[in-house]
Structure 1
Amino acid sequence: MTALQTRPGSSAASRLVRHVGTARETGILLALVLVVVVAAVRNPSFLLSSDGFRDLLLTPSLLLLLAIGQAIVIITRNVDLSVGSVLGLTAYLTGRLFIDVPGIPIVVVFAGGIAAGAILGLINGALVAFARVPALVITLGTLYIYRGMNVAWAGSDRINASDLPAGFRGLGTGQLVGIPILTLIAAVVLVAAAWYLRNLRSGRELYAIGSDPAAAHLYGLNVTRRVIAAFVVSGALAGLGGVLFAARYGTVSSGAGLGWELQAIAAAVIGGVAISGGVGTVWGAAIGAYLLLTINRALPILGIDDFWQRAVVGVLILGSIVLDRVLAVRQSRRLIAQREVDR
């Protein structure tokens, strides 16, 4: 009997170690840990103080929600440029509900924000799926439409913290067992999305659609329905983000969420979600969101100018795209070599 036979679990353990070591998310996670460690060495309060640790967990939570939705859309070989506008619109909606409907239950406000986001996402998905126009063009248009609706509605007015119930504002600043409530909400959404993509057939079909939409259609997959569903999820998560934005910051104006769509896309791409579709995980997008905002907090501590802070993010995005291309070419060559051996 060989040593491998006497240790039946060793092969499984080695496969697990090999998988973790080669996973695209591992490198991003190591980069995140490195940034935190270097910043903490330079300024121990960055991590070791209670406020520093809280901010490290809390600050990326809203972006994480948008990055999860963005990752799901990008996996289908699409993109959603409207999520920042959806977040801003639903954030203002949240404040207006509390002002215009005194005593409204917080649960109803959450449901209203999520539903509004889902409807806006449905519009995006339907236009992409039925008009057969690239998602980049459609969602660029709805980005301006939704933002224009928000500006027309809000005008120069804004929601103030005093307009929101104390219990609702507490969701944005409160903690549970030492962890910010917003972070816990984002973590629950992350685990649910990861489980769905990995374990349910409809989740795995999103990868098939992103890898080759034409082949997926010929195989019998309902590409239209899956693409629409991906945009609905993205919109719903942006709507949830809008509600939590109001809870987190208290003050909401027509400029809420401005530019967040680019950060969400950057987080997903940095986290290993291939912009060409069919590859990536929401875990990677989540790590990318944390890395992106942690870099923004850490680089000033290290004395790096604002220009170079933005340049570092740009290098990360380009590096992720190049890495994706290199891995795709290697995988293609490996498959060709395997096909030759099988012959």
Structure 2
Amino acid sequence: MIQTPDKSYQINGIQQIGIGVKDLHQAWSWYRKAFSMDVPVFEDEATANLMTRYTNGIAESRHAVLALNMQGGGGFEIWQFTSRTPNSTNFEILPGDLGIYAVKIRVRDIQRAFKHLENQNAEILTEVAKTPNGMGSFFLKDPFDNIFQVVEDSSWFSENSSPTGGVLGVVIGVSDLEKSILLYRDILGFSVLNYQEEGAYSDIPGEKFTYKRALLAMPGKCNPGAFGALLCPAQIELIEVKERQGRHIFKDRLWGDLGFIHCCLDVNGMKDLKKKAGEAGYPFTVDSENSFDMGSASGHFGYLEDYDQTLIEFVETHRVPILQKWNLYLNLKKRDHKKNLPKLLVKLLALNRVKS
């Protein structure tokens, strides 16, 4: 039976995907040109003191920027170690390997997006094909060996000339589809099952193995929360490969090494979410407990591991800059967390845009 998430907390959408890179400025430059991730929410250099569980007990230093596409969708937290050289996998990451295999990018016009990304020297992995629920999509690899799925979508915050929007969702490799669904559907609020099936698929890159797939989506046309309208409803696709053993993408590597390091959900009611997840067998492994600072932004963050140890981050935002040049900040702790901020106020973030 499908359960609805506890009303004492709410999931407002995918806030960002953490991407470990070797050179933050090089990577962000490409992501601005390719995906219009050109509006920074924060840029910060600090030591990740609370993440030592995933960094071999050592508090590593890092440089990070959270950037958004103002047409709507989640952002990228582009993340570079400054205290060590990040490691890559020693194998080619394939569909069904355990962890975040690909990030879904929303687009209006799939053919326009295809031509645009070809012109940005992305490595195109598949031609445009239909997903099981009939949406046009294709896969590509960026210059840093990260894989993206570009997907048609109808949920948007605003419209400009960019061929792409922000993050629509993620493709996560799992070892047991049925067990993995329980966390994302019943605890994290991705309660709409767009499809669940098994077969060989032309829209997936690589060899034609048999896969079990489930696409879970957030309900409704607009999310709650201060920035819910900007984040737009998101999707999580779980994929299990049948004819080979899925390998752990971050096995023997650190959080912050190269690749997709976490999927971060924007939430309200963190303590109640922590309680509900723990009761379901998914305890928080990291919890900032009170407010943390990320340069000009602050909030409460926590992490849990899914059934295959993929890291899911949660952030309850307390303060966020709207116009940093004029020291205009919003204190979100004092407002009704079920309501969206006025659209005009959110659009002021675009005044912070960094041009390529």
TM range (shorter): under 0.3
Greater RCO (CA < 8 Å, at least 6 residues apart) = 1
Q: Which has the higher strand share?
A: 2
TM-score in terms of structure 2 length: 0.24
Give 1 or 2 for the bigger CA radius of gyration: 1
